[in-house]
Amino acid sequence: MEYVLFSETIKELQKIAARHESILVAFSGGKDSWCCLDLCYKIFKRVKAFFLYFIPELECIEVELDKARQRYGVEILQYPHWLFFRCIKEGVYCDWYWKNINIWEPKINDIHMAIIADTGIDLICQGAKESDSMWRRRYFTINRFDRVIYPLKKWQKIDVIS
């Protein structure tokens, strides 16, 4: 089963690569994003990655990003995570909070659009899978941003590890 799933994913990515020579990969340093980066690196002509941070230049994160840079020679851009703005507004990291002050709360698609505008690359690959959680399965039905692909959507954890 794993081999069929893998070969179907490769074929689908090759079809997409025939229409898009470049792709952005959402990279967190987790197994799913490593898998997506590896697949895209082998199929697309140009690959850039991006990381959404809560704390910029955190050493434990930079170590993982450097591994990806060294292995694939990929540029990894960094942007604030969309939930970071909500945490600031709700006072998660401080005693006093900004709830009554007008702080922009971007959605994930807003961050994606900013990255697309900065890079000129209009296709994003994410490693989300239906098997991640019930919320993730629901996310696939409500988030219809046509510039994001999920090549691992039908995969299980064991497929990624394999």
Q: In the prediction, which pLDDT does 7 show?
A: 94
In-domain check, residue 107: no
Distance (Å, whole) CA 143 – CA 127 = 15
CATH for 17: 3.40.50.620
Residue-level pLDDT at 51: 98
- pLDDT-flagged residues of the chain (< 70): 1-2, 95-100, 143-144
Instruction: Answer yes or no: is 77 within a domain.
Output: yes
Nearest residue to 48 via CA among 121, 104, 152, 97: 121
Quote the crossing angle between the two packed helices 108-119 and 82-90, to the nearest 10°.
130
User: Looking at residue 144, what is its pLDDT?
Assistant: 67
| Domain of 17, in residue numbers | 2-81+123-161
pLDDT of residue 157: 93
In a domain, 71, yes or no: yes
Query: pTM for the full model?
Result: 0.89
Identify the pLDDT of residue 74.
97
At which residue do the structure tokens 């990969």 appear? 25
